[in-house]
Amino acid sequence: MKYKSTYLSLSLACLLGSFSQQAYSIVTLDFAGVGTAIAGTADASDLAVGDSVLFTGLGDASMGATFDAILTLDALSANPTNSTTASFDTSTAGTFVTVSSGSVADSFGVFTLSFIESGTSSAANPFGDAAALIGVTSFLAQDIDSAGGNFSDVFGFALTGQETMIVRGSALVNAGFINNNDPVLADFDLSRVNENSGGTGMGADLTFIGEGNELRSSVPNQTDFQFDNATISSLQFVFGTTSTNENQTVGNRGLLAELDFTGVTAIPEPSASLLSLIAIVSSICRRKRR
């Protein structure tokens, strides 16, 4: 949520300001990997709330800017009409998070992506040693599209307060789930495909029918959250699908993302403990807000 992200960002700026940071060339992080379950149900192909999945070998070893990341499913929001929740898979090569085939639209997952030092996750310490990315200039959500049916991917990003600009592709609109108004969505900047006319004549209903399944390189289907050399230890986002049909089922829908940054720095243990405390406090604030 925005409270968590803002607190983390402000705290990191203070905690890390006195540490020397080596400059690197910009490295593009590609999340199109395969996750390994480290906590919860231990099934990366069908996540349950509270499950955490480890992604390793991220960044660029040749530039000395490597790290690992942990993706946690924080919450599931069900389709309000039929109380069905989507299924999520992080074990499929070529995607970061996948909405599994057969899921019903207008359900979504809330995820947190936390960064840790490379190689520090172990059986004794599955969540590893906290790290922060420095010099962050962009988080690029890609492949927000459809596949010819009456549905669209929906991506939402919890703003950190450090964004300088949001650039949304021409095929997208700043909107979310047509049949799900879960209050949690107020904390996120949302993108989905723009509906088109699904019929002929005056008053024809708008649908997503005919919208294509685009490549990840399709700029019109990307949303770019830009930063001015930000320091970030975690990001939060939502992912799901929507439809003008409240009972619409969907096939596999994959999310892809890239992150540009200049380096990685460790968070000293006392600072990591403080960040945990901040996360707890911000969670309490969110509950009171609702």
Q: pLDDT of 85-143, one tens digit each?
A: 999 999 888 888 999 999 999 999 999 999 999 999 999 999 999 999 999 999 999 99
What is the model's pLDDT at position 52?
95
Full 3-state SS string of 152-168? EEEEEEECCCCEEEEEE
The answer to whether the CB of 106 falls within 8 A of the CB of 112 is no
What is the model's pLDDT at position 281?
62
Rounded-to-integer distance, Cα 211 and Cα 80, Å: 25
Amino acid identity of residue 81, one-letter, is: T
pLDDT confidence tier of residue 60, bands split at 50, 70 and 90? confident
- DSSP state, residue 204: P
Residue 210: CB atoms within 10 A of its CB come to 12
What is the model's pLDDT at position 170?
93
What is the model's pLDDT at position 21?
42
The residue-averaged pLDDT of 256-279 equals: 76
pLDDT of 283 over the 60 cut: no
Most confident by average pLDDT, 10-24, 79-93, 186-200: 79-93
43-57, 58-72, 120-134, 164-178: which has the minimum mean pLDDT? 58-72
Joined tokens for residue 165: 């600009």
CA geometry: angle at 201 spanning 195 and 203, to 5°?
A: 60
Q: Read off the pLDDT of residues 199-252 as tens digits, 9 standing for 90 and up.
A: 444 444 678 887 878 888 889 999 999 999 999 999 999 999 999 998 999 988
The answer to whether the CB of 151 falls within 8 A of the CB of 243 is yes
The residues near 73 (Cβ < 8 Å, ≥ 6 apart) are 40, 47, 48, 49, 50, 51, 52, 88, 109, 110, 111
Rounded-to-integer distance, Cα 71 and Cα 106, Å: 22
Helices 2-16/269-289 angle, 10° precision: 160
pLDDT confidence tier of residue 288, bands split at 50, 70 and 90? low
Most confident by average pLDDT, 33-42, 57-66, 151-160: 151-160
pLDDT of 256 over the 50 cut: yes
What is the model's pLDDT at position 3?
31
Partnered with residue 224 across adjacent β-strands are: 140, 167
- DSSP state, residue 245: S
For the chain, the average pLDDT equals 83
